[in-house]
Amino acid sequence: MTRNVLFLCTGNSARSVLAEATLRAWGGDRFSAFSAGSQPTGQINPFALAQLQAEGMPIEGLRSKSWDEFVDAPPMDLVITVCDSAAAEACPVVFGDFIRSHWGLPDPAAVAGNDADKVAAFAQAHAIVKLRLRALLALPDSLWSDREALQHALDQIGQLQPTDSMP
């Protein structure tokens, strides 16, 4: 069974795109990955594209888009917000019959400084995304039939940092 996963943030130019592209690359036939923003910037941050290319991940078809495009889309099984509420960044509020989880992480697109600082910020954000997606992919299929247990597992995944061990 293929599960539809939507990664949401505000601008849909960095974190949500990193997550979409990575899950597309790793998810096989188990997951279909999408991303969107409540206020999309209209373009993907070039540092996000460079990070994905450096990791050998396909970037074809990626674009910054509004969550409005998903109103008539196939139903989502999982919606994950990746905005950074710790930095007082507004996260999109979504409603529907799907599991929601918040996997907040700092916005690498907000990093000021030289290109090396920005490259490092995107590499760090992608490291967090990859760690969390590895944990998602490691969840047993049987967990998806227990909504409460799945919610708990997803929320725990959303707390993982690169210094943590896998759950």
The helix or strand, by DSSP H or E, that contains position 49, with its residue range, turns out to be: helix 46-54
Annotated catalytic residue within 91, 94, 119, 131: 91
45 classed as catalytic = no
Annotated catalytic residue within 18, 83, 109, 135: 83
Which 8-state DSSP code applies to residue 7? Answer: E
Annotated catalytic residue within 6, 8, 9, 111: 9
Bridge partners of 101? Answer: 80
156 classed as catalytic = no
145 classed as catalytic = no
d(C-alpha 105, C-alpha 153), whole Å:
18
* Inter-residue contact 98 to 75 (CB < 8 Å): yes
Among candidates 34, 36, 21, which has minimal Cα distance to 66? 36
Residues with a catalytic annotation lie at 9, 83, 91
